[in-house]
Amino acid sequence: MKIDKQQISDLNKSVETKHLIQLDFIANQLQHKGIDGQHIIKKLKDFQVAIPSWALGAGGTRFGRFSFGGEPSTLEQKLDDIGILHTLTNAAGAVSLHIPWDIPQNYQAIKDKAAQHNIVFDAVNSNTFQDQSNAKESYKFGSLCNSNKAVREQAIQHNIDVINIGEKLGSKSLTVWLADGSSFPGQLNFQETLKNTQDSLKTVYKSLPKDWKLFIEYKPYEPNFYSTVIQDWGTSYMLANECGERAYTLVDLGHHLPNTNIEQIVATLLYKGKLGGFHFNDSKYGDDDLTVGSIKPYALFLIFNELVYGIENNPKNPDLAWMIDASHNIKDPLEDLIQSLEAIMIAYAQALLVDQKQLKEAQEAQDIVACQEILQEAYRTDVRPLVRESRVQMNAAIDPLAIYRSLEIRKTLIKERGKNSTASGL
């Protein structure tokens, strides 16, 4: 299944007039405030979010999994699905692979397929949270943190293997997320496990090619329920500092305890030049991996506000790796990803509207009411016409979801791949 640009531009025609009226309206509003709408559109056109190779199939919970039909069962098919997303949205021009779920069989074929869809290879992810069938050692009691040296060595070697795979594809970063921790008090020695983890990460870091970065993810709990070795941004930041200047913290929105002020964490890391990447999703209770912006869109906007400010004001922080890390139990994965991409673009566009100069003045005048008004003025602006226009200018869909449905893409995928195909992953 492949959609071409001609089909999209034909289908765009039916909503073009409505789009132009709405665009004209917001462009005038912005002009009145001295904001150049085209400048924002340009930023949106350039913004690319990596799609994780594990998000293209229906996910599951520990209670069960319900197949969606037409799911990709090979890496080639996953790239085809991202190709569909990218053609429709112009925002999904990268893939993030999880190894060993997605080891390429034929590197040239995979690279050709990605190039054909204008997809680049973003961070590669290692997996030391599951035992592989041919593994000598088990990760049941941890991987890089394990008190058993042989287990640590196996986990270190796996990360090095992942780097080697990524190098063949053109990736430039490795993301490490560890499930390591304990489920009961006394199960492990906190200091020893932290030291083991630090030493192991330093060894992995030494194997990084010179133009690569290491991203260290944190998460407070799950799968372990008493302690997690890299539980929070502070631990990740400390480990990144120990490793070296090309090691960074990666923020996954779902990896915080309820009500954590994530935007403040983002600001702190940017201030220190140590924010490496982002995993977008949304949640109500825990690491729910729900559609981006589906539960707390204002929080997402506040995070983007810090990102926009931070990127402008902290030149020593490198460009960030953006990725969606969501799972879809009951939705069509591609529709869900279209919704997530839309939510990201909306929050980004709203953040770009914040009048930073006015905000600074209001902050200096201690005018709290004005500060809130400035943020909410941006948040309450309907920026969707700008997001749509950013797609139009790249020959993508004005309304990606509507076109996805009118082309009956899922139906075609089911016809091509069958009703019970399954994607590798969780």
Q: Catalog residues that contact ligand PSV under the rule CB under 6 A.
A: 54, 125, 177, 217, 219, 252, 279, 287, 325, 426
Q: How far is the CB of 134 from Mn ion (least distance, A)?
A: 26
Q: How far is the CB of 200 from ligand PSV (least distance, A)?
A: 17
Q: In this structure, are residues 409 and 84 in contact, taking their beta carbons and an 8 Å threshold?
A: yes
Contact between 122 and Mn ion per CB under 5 A: no
- Is the CB of 28 or the CB of 130 nearer to ligand PSV? 130
Contact pick of 78, 152, 274, 279 for Mn ion (by CB under 5 A): 279
Q: How far is the CB of 409 from ligand PSV (least distance, A)?
A: 25
Contact between 287 and Mn ion per CB under 5 A: yes
b/e for 22-41, b at 16 or more Cβ within 10 A?
bbeebbeebeeeebebeebb
Contact between 256 and Mn ion per CB under 5 A: no
Q: What single string gives the DSSP state of each residue in 350-386?
A: HHHHS-HHHHHHHHHTT-HHHHHHHHHHHHTS--HHH
Q: What are 23's two structure tokens? A: 């665009």
- Is the CB of 143 or the CB of 381 nearer to ligand PSV? 143
Using alpha carbons, select from 278, 279, 208, 203 the residue that is nearest to residue 246. Answer: 208
Give the angle 135-137-143 at the CA atoms, nearest 5°: 110
Contact between 282 and Mn ion per CB under 5 A: no
Binding partner of residue 125 among ligand PSV, Mn ion, none, CB under 5 to 8 Å per kind? ligand PSV
Q: How far is the CB of 127 from ligand PSV (least distance, A)?
A: 7
Considering CB under 5 A, how many residues would be counted as binding Mn ion? 4
Beta strands of 266-324 (E only): which ranges?
Answer: 275-280, 321-324
Stretch that binds Mn ion, among 9-17, 181-189, 201-209, 319-327 (CB under 5 A): 319-327
Q: How far is the CB of 324 from ligand PSV (least distance, A)?
A: 11
Q: How far is the CB of 6 from ligand PSV (least distance, A)?
A: 37
Torsion angle defined by CA atoms of residues 259, 263, 264 and 268, in that order, rounded to the nearest 10 degrees: 140
Binding partner of residue 101 among ligand PSV, Mn ion, none, CB under 5 to 8 Å per kind? none
- Is the CB of 232 or the CB of 252 nearer to ligand PSV? 252
* Interatomic CA distance for residues 180 and 144, integer angstroms: 8
Stretch that binds Mn ion, among 10-18, 119-127, 194-202, 286-294 (CB under 5 A): 286-294
Amino acid at 149: K
Q: In 3-state terms, what secondary structure has residue 120?
A: strand
Q: What single string gives the DSSP state of each residue in 35-65?
A: --HHHHHHHHHH---EEEGGGSS--EETTEE
Count CB-CB contacts under 10 A for residue 222: 13
Stretch that binds Mn ion, among 121-129, 207-215, 317-325, 328-336 (CB under 5 A): 317-325
Q: How far is the CB of 325 from ligand PSV (least distance, A)?
A: 5
- Is the CB of 26 or the CB of 240 nearer to ligand PSV? 240
Interface positions with Mn ion (CB under 5 A): 252, 279, 287, 325
